Amino acid sequence: MADEARRGEEDERGPGAAYNMFVVMEDLLDKLKLLDYEAEVLGKHNMKALSRHYFASSPYMPSNPGEQYFMFTILASWLINQAGRPFEQPQEYDDPNATVSNILSELRAFGGQVDFPPSRLKAGSGEHVCYVLDRLAEEALKKKGFAWKKPKYPTEELEEESLVEDDAELTLSKVEEDMTEEPDDNEEENLIDLEALKARTSQNEANGSSKPDEILESNTDVAEWNLEVERVLPQLKVTVRADNKDWRIHVDQMHQHKDGIESSLKEAKGYLNKLQEDISKTLEKVTSREKYINKQLEHLVQDYRSAHAKLSQSREHYQQGSGGVTERTRVLSEISEDLEKVKQEMEERGSSMSDGAPLVKIKQSLTKLKQEVVQMDIRIGVVEHTILQAQLKEKSNMTRDMHATSIPEPAVGTY
C-alpha cells in the first residue's frame, strides 16, 4: 500500500520532480562531505555513511522511515549549529511535530521558503527533506566562508602528426656505417657494390622511374650473398609498435572477448539448465504438497474461519460494552468528586462546632470591653469634674463682676 501511494504521488508530481530530487540529494552529499559530516556526525553515533540517494523516496528503493527520520533530525540540528545558530539535538522520545516545527522555524530565519506542510518531513525522505537539508548545508558553507568557483575546462590540443623514424628501419647510410665499422676481407668489393647501388638509385631518381631499361643480371656469388644476408638479417627485422588507439586492436579485443563470452556461456548454460530443472521439480513437489495439505486441513481452515468470525463479533460486543463502561466510569468519577467535596465541608463544620476557640475569643473580647468601659467611666468622671470646676470658677467671676459694678461713685466737690 505504501509503494502504491508513493507511485501515485510521483505520478501527480511528474518525472521532473523525482529527477530533481535525486540531483539535489547528490549535491547535498557533496556538501556534507565538504563539511566533514562523517567525522562530526557519523563518528559520534557509530553509523554508516549515507548512500547517493539515501533521502530520495522511490518505490524501487528500500526505505526505513524511522532511521531516515532520525538521521534527518540529527543532520538538520548539526547543520543549524554549523550555520551559527544554537539548536539542541533532538532526542528519541521528543515530539516529532515540535521537532519539525523548530527546524522549519530555523529555516525561515535563514530566509528559506517553506510552502509545504510539516507532515511531509516526518516521513524522513522525499524532495522536501532533501530541500531542507540542502538549504541548511548551503548556510553552513556560507558560515565557513566556502564559495564555489567556476569550472576550468581543459583546452584540447590537436595532435600533430609526426613521422617517427623506426629504429629497425634499414637505411642506406646505416648499412654504409656498419660496413665501414666492421672489418671485412671483401671491403673493397662491398664499397664497389655500394657505389654502383648509389649510382643506380641516383640515375633512377633522375629518370623519374625505377623500372630498368634492360634486364639485370647478377654476377654475385651465391655463397657470399647468403653470408651477407645472414649478417644483415638481424638489422632487417621490422618491429611494429602496438597503438591502443588503433581500431584493429579494438576489433581483435572484441573478437577475443566474444570468444571468451561464448565459451563461458556454454559452460554456464549447462549449469543454468540444470538449475532450472531442479527448481521446476522442487516447485512441482511444493505445489503437490500444498494441495495435499490443503485437502487434509480443509476442515481445520473452516473451523478457523468460524472462530475468526466469532472473534470479530465478540470484539464488537466488547467495544460496545467498553463504551458503556467508559461512560459509567466518567459518571462515577464525577460523583466521587462531589462526595469528596461534601465530606470536606462536613469535616470543616464538625471541626468548627467542636472547637472552643471562638468562645475563648468572645470571653476575651468581653473582658476587654469591660476594661474599656471602666476606663471610659473614669474619663467621663474626670471630664465632669473639670466642667464643674470651670462652671464654679465662671460663677465666682460673675459674682465678683457684679459686686464691682454696684460700688457708689465718689462725691464731686465744688470749686
Name the more confident of 70 and 379.
379
Q: Which residues contact 329 (CB under 8 A, 6 or more apart)?
A: none
* Three-state DSSP state, 306: helix
pLDDT above 70 coverage of the chain, percent: 74
Q: Could you read off the pLDDT of 330-339 as tens digits, one per residue? A: 899 999 999 9
pLDDT of res. 170: 43
Considering the chain, what is the average pLDDT of its residues? 76
C-alpha cell at position 238: 621490422
In this prediction, residues 274-301 reach a mean pLDDT of 90
C-alpha cell at position 106: 530555523
pLDDT above 90 coverage of the chain, percent: 18
C-alpha cell at position 284: 512441482
- Written as one letter, the residue type at 179 is M
Q: Which residues contact 191 (CB under 8 A, 6 or more apart)?
A: 179
What confidence category does residue 89 fall into, taking pLDDT thresholds of 50, 70 and 90? confident
Residue 212 scores a pLDDT above 80: no
Q: Could you read off the pLDDT of 233-285 as tens digits, one per residue? A: 877 766 656 666 677 788 888 999 999 999 888 889 888 999 999 999 999 99
Angle of helix 15-34 relative to helix 2-13, nearest 10 degrees?
100
Name the more confident of 225 and 148.
225
DSSP class per residue in 236-250: G--PPPP-TT-HHHH
Residue 380 scores a pLDDT above 90: yes
User: What's the predicted TM-score (pTM) here?
Assistant: 0.36
Residue 127 scores a pLDDT above 70: yes
CB 31 within 8 A of CB 134: yes
Chain mean position to CA 296: 53
Name the more confident of 13 and 363.
363
Closest CA to 79 of 60, 59, 107: 107
Q: Exposed/middle/buried for 194, CB within 10 Å: 0-12, 13-18, 19+?
A: middle
pLDDT of res. 185: 47
- Written as one letter, the residue type at 64 is N
CB 78 within 8 A of CB 41: yes
Q: Could you read off the pLDDT of 305-338 as tens digits, one per residue? A: 999 999 999 988 888 888 888 888 889 999 999 9
Name the more confident of 42 and 401.
401
pLDDT of res. 386: 93
319 half-sphere exposure, CB direction, 13 A CA radius: 5
Candidate from 72-86, 232-246, 262-276, 339-353 with smallest mean pLDDT: 232-246
